[in-house]
Each structure stands twice: as C-alpha cells, then as structure tokens.
Amino acid sequence: MTSWRRLVRFVAVGCTAAAVHFGVVVTLVEAGVATPLAANVVGWLVAFVVSFAGQHRLTFADRSAPVLRAARRFFAISAAGFAANEAAYALVLRLSPVRYDVALAAVLVGVAVMTYVLSSRWAFRRSPAAPPAPSP
C-alpha cells in the first residue's frame, strides 16, 4: 500500500476514534456522570477498541502482523499517547479558561501524529520472515 493511502486510512480511522472519544466525554460530562478528566479515561478506552479494529483491519492490514502482538503493541502506544493526552488535558483545564470540550479537541489532535509514527514503525510492523499480504 502506498504511504499516502495508508496515511489517509490512518487519518480516517483516527478521526472516527477521536469522534467516539470526544462524544463519550461530552456525553458523560453533560449528563453529570463524570468530571472531564474521569470521562476522558472512559472515552479513551472506548476509542481504543474503535481505533485498533480500524487500524488493524484497514490501515495496516497488508502488514500481516499477528493480532495479539499488534494489539499489545498498539495498546502500549495508545496508553502512552493517553498518558500524554491526560497530562496535557489536566494542564490545560487547570491553567486556562478554555472550555473542557475545546481543550480536549486540541489535545486529541496533538497526540495523533505520535500515534501514527509509532503504529507504522512498531505496532503493525510485519515480522521479518512474514511475506507481504496482498493489498485489499
């Protein structure tokens, strides 16, 4: 698959997962069920499932990475990204007058580039002995 096709698919899946993350957070906060930081944890967990499924089946399907290995690696990348997300989100919520939803949108965009680079180069990397899978 060409780099551009992969990038477009990564962005599409990432935007879908980010929209799910954002929607879960806003729903929980507006319903009074959770604070923004607590809702962010739930939003990330739900979005992780959406993101992994999309990245494994669409973006990196041609890499033939074993699903459990890819899931563990992608979870590690996602958790690191979420740690950065939660720290930045807490900082913005504490130090600025920006609304929680606007701050979350900015933080989600900021972590996306790191996730793409690590996913492409590590989580979904094909085993050296594995032959390339056919392109979808």
Does any domain span residue 128? no
| Assigned domain for 64 exists | yes
Specify if 133 maps to a domain: no
* Count of domains forming the chain: 1
Domain contains 22: yes
Pair 119, 77: CB distance under 8 Å: yes
Give the pTM.
0.76
Q: What is the pLDDT of residues 21-40, one digit of tens each?
A: 999 999 999 999 999 999 99
- Asked whether residue 91 is domain-assigned, the answer is yes
50-63 confidence digits (pLDDT tens) = 999 999 999 888 87
Within a domain: 131: no
CB 119 within 8 A of CB 55: yes
SS3 label, residue 10: helix
Range of the domain at 49: 3-123
60 in any annotated domain? yes
